[in-house]
Chains A and B, each alone.
Chain A
Amino acid sequence: MGIITVLWEKWTEFKRDFYKITLAAMISPLMYLLIFGLGIQTTSHGEPYMNFLIPGIVAMSTMTGSFSAVAQNMSVQRLYEKALDQVMVSPTPLWQFVLGQIIGGCLRGMYAAGIILLMTMPVRTGLIFNGWSFFIMFLNGTVFSTIALALSFFAKSYTDAPRYNAYIIVPMSFICNIFFSLDQMPNGFRQVVSLLPLSQASGMIREISVGGSPTLFGVVILFVYIAVFLSISVVFIYQKKNL
């Protein structure tokens, strides 16, 4: 029930800021697709580079959509508006609030990815996006909204949210299997980067898009991230002495 309340709150925000949210979700991925996919026409593994890029951009959009929806919203609610106090006082179980935030953030990430899929539809790539793709997008969105929620509890000022973006989202966007394959990375660094959630998500969505299926290892990695950051968020909201 509390989850529905949070989703309702997210829905009112989405309706109100529909155009802003949609435009923000479109602009960066569209630029990447235009510049790297169409402008610099090249191939990767014998395929058009666009075929390599689109699954990565879909994974990246899920990440940025989910992360920014939660990190920004929660930091503002907690530190600027103090609207979180209203939730803390209420009888809504706080774990339901946490789950609602995560699901809401994940749906925003899915929406952002959905826009990319719609935009790239006219480009005849032959890529496959099926139930497995959406499952991985859902997991990826959940991972990043959970990370965003945990980090927003650590924020000391509501201006910290853009900083987290600069520290986490931007580097991951560039190194995690979005624009180039992990195979091209030096040993050691490659193994570390491959354990990052976006590397796994983009790798699996790419694999599915050429008729493959997700790997158990990749799915487990995503679940591990969810479990760790969900635990941090729940412990924080129940135990933190000064929210």
Chain B
Amino acid sequence: MIEMKNLTKKFGNFTAVDHLNLIIETGEFFGLLGTNGAGKTTTISMISTVLIPTEGEILIDGNLLTRKKSDQKRKLSVVTQEYSMRMDMNMDEVMEYQGRLYFLPKKVIKEKTEQLLEFAGLSPFRKRTVRHLSGGMRRKLMICRALMIEPEILLLDEPTAGMDAIARRQMWNLLRQLNGHNLTIILTTHYIDEAQSLCNRVALMDQGTLKKVDTPNNFISELGEFAVDQMIDDSLKSSYFNNRSEAIHYLEGLSENAAMRNTTLEDVFIETVGKRLPEK
């Protein structure tokens, strides 16, 4: 279990994360959603100890997490938003470096490298340096690297950014499988369909503060399961209904430029966070 208590991070006068209180249970697939600058990456960076909180604390299974606590850090693995790898290392070296940093025996490192690179379809490129890999390949390699150590908690900061649709779906399947093995996953993403498809619970963040936490289904039910979109003066307006017949009745009273559909987590996100943002 990960517990964040009054977690705050300031950069000078700017507050990136403001008194965040959150509990993530063991085995949960948890999503952090928010606009750019909402504080998602800063939160992940604090959990991974790259950043030290200005205020507050993080507990893992009741124990305080700090840079000095090797036993706590052993449970964590992270896929950062940026390609945090030595550019001149080849895939085998990237994997070996990771294994050595986590004190894995050489034999295990070799076996895991074979297994994970094969699984990710990266084996034919294993002697290629990171510098010469495509963005998607680098992402896959980062996931392989993170999984090598069999973590208890996996932090994923926009893991599918830059991936094509097929690679994204493959990644989703992989993450589902991993979560099935009781791995706790914290995911930040800009793809809200990704969070809706994968996460048990989702937190909506805005300007460093936590707005709401709930399951995607509860969020949708709260807003209304059916959405009716209509174009008014070149801008889209959506109305939400809990009952299909109510939605149909409303739709019938509208002009041609209207349609009904199921509400998505993206609607919840826009209604919660987007309302603050000025319309373009």
A70 CA to B82 CA, complexed, in Å: 23
- CB of A192 within 8 A of chain B? no
Chain A residues with CB under 8 A of B102: 90-92
Q: Give the size of the chain B interface in residues (CB under 8 angstroms).
A: 34
Chain B residues with CB under 8 A of A87: 101
Chain B residues with CB under 8 A of A90: 73, 98, 101-102
B89 interface neighbour in A12, A85, A88, A94, Cβ under 8 Å: A12
CB distance from B268 to the nearest CB of A (A): 31
Is there contact, CB below 8 Å, between B71 and A91?
yes
A168 CA to B83 CA, complexed, in Å: 32
Docked complex: B103-119 residues within 8 A CB-CB of A: 103
Chain A residues with CB under 8 A of B77: 89
Docked complex: A183-240 residues within 8 A CB-CB of B: 237-240
CB distance from A49 to the nearest CB of B (A): 41
Chain B residues with CB under 8 A of A45: none
A165 CA to B253 CA, complexed, in Å: 74
B54 interface neighbour in A8, A83, A238, A241, Cβ under 8 Å: A241
A237 CA to B50 CA, complexed, in Å: 10
CB distance from A55 to the nearest CB of B (A): 35
A89 with B86: in contact, given A5-B100, A5-B101, A242-B51 (CB under 8 Å)?
no
- CB of B252 within 8 A of chain A? no
A108 CA to B79 CA, complexed, in Å: 32
Q: Which of B71, B86, B89 has the most CB of A within 10 A?
A: B86
Chain B residues with CB under 8 A of A89: 48-50, 73, 76-78
Is there contact, CB below 8 Å, between B89 and A82?
no
- CB of A16 within 8 A of chain B? yes
Docked complex: A47-79 residues within 8 A CB-CB of B: 77
What is the interface of chain A, defined by CB distance below 8 A to chain B?
1-2, 4-5, 8-9, 12-13, 16-17, 77, 81-94, 237-243
Contacts beyond the supplied A82-B84, A86-B84, A89-B50: 17 A-B pairs with Cβ under 8 Å: A1-B103, A5-B97, A9-B86, A82-B80, A82-B83, A85-B48, A86-B85, A86-B97, A86-B145, A88-B48, A88-B49, A89-B73, A90-B98, A91-B74, A92-B103, A93-B70, A237-B67
